[in-house]
Amino acid sequence: MRIKDKVAIVTGAGGGIGGAISRALAAEGASVVVADLNEQAARETCKSLAAFNGRFLSMKVDVRSEDDVKRLVDETVKQFGHLDILCANAGVSTIKLTVDATEEEWNFNMDVNAKGIFFCDKHAARQMIKQGKGGKIINTSSQLGKHGAPYFAHYTASKHAVIGLTVTLAQELGPYKINVNAICPGDIETPLLLREIPEIAKLRGTENSTIREELLKATPLGRLGKPEDVARVVVFLASEESDYVTGQAINIGTIS
């Protein structure tokens, strides 16, 4: 077990990529705090960890609230004694042409995807510095954190911000032996993507199958990713195998 006896927080862990990350960390020996705005979904993920050796806790957390995030870190330390790994994964998307996008949609993407990760990183880093034993921070960006795509201006901007934050924090926290990296998943078959496909098809006046075929053609391996594909990379970044890796934005399933 690569991260036995470590304590991890995973946000946006009620399903999809966050749920898979939670299970992968638990399988490698970590105790996991499952955080999500959807309290019932967080509880369901937590139940799925019962087969693993470790202690697990679910919490309702809105990452847009700094008070909520501070409470998440404080409760983790209260229950488990320390914090070793943060997977700041909570994210949202909305789809619209830039000229039609509203301020509310812009704020929604930026508040969850960028500000939420900032709050999580800030309070996890403070705790890790206080502990003096290093740590691992893993932020979820996206392939769109590196290039743009039609209909995703606000989402793309928020995911670029995650990479900028990651690179900056890696430099600031390096002296404390805290590694900070980002993951940039491609097209992963999650409820989020399955919602996006028909929305894009409607905007383009085409069929869902056409959008899906285009996604497959753009993927070198010829298939959509699975949440477990992402989770395996996160386990590497959470383990001592990545002790000399920091400030990176790692593609998963895509080349650029």
Per the annotation, the verdict on 159 as an active-site residue is yes
Which has the closest alpha carbon to 116: 84, 158, 144? 158
pLDDT, averaged across the chain: 96
User: Which of the residues 6, 136, 151, 155 is marked catalytic?
Assistant: 155
CATH architecture of 7-186+227-252: 3-Layer(aba) Sandwich (3.40)
- Residue 21 — very low, low, confident or very high, per pLDDT cuts 50/70/90? very high
- What span, in angstroms and rounded, lies between the C-alpha atoms of 77 and 234? 22
User: Which of the residues 6, 47, 159, 217 is marked catalytic?
Assistant: 159
The angle, 0 to 180 degrees and rounded to 10, between the axes of the packed helices 116-131 and 66-80 is 30
Domain range list for the chain: 7-186+227-252
Per the annotation, the verdict on 155 as an active-site residue is yes
- Residue 53 — very low, low, confident or very high, per pLDDT cuts 50/70/90? confident
The count of other CB atoms within 10 Å of the CB of residue 221 is 11
Cα angle for residues 19, 183, 172 (degrees, 5° grid) = 115
- What span, in angstroms and rounded, lies between the C-alpha atoms of 243 and 135? 9
Pair of tokens at residue 76: 């983790």
Q: What is the DSSP-derived secondary structure letter of residue 151? A: T
**Does residue 81 have a pLDDT over 90?**
yes
- Residue 64 — very low, low, confident or very high, per pLDDT cuts 50/70/90? very high
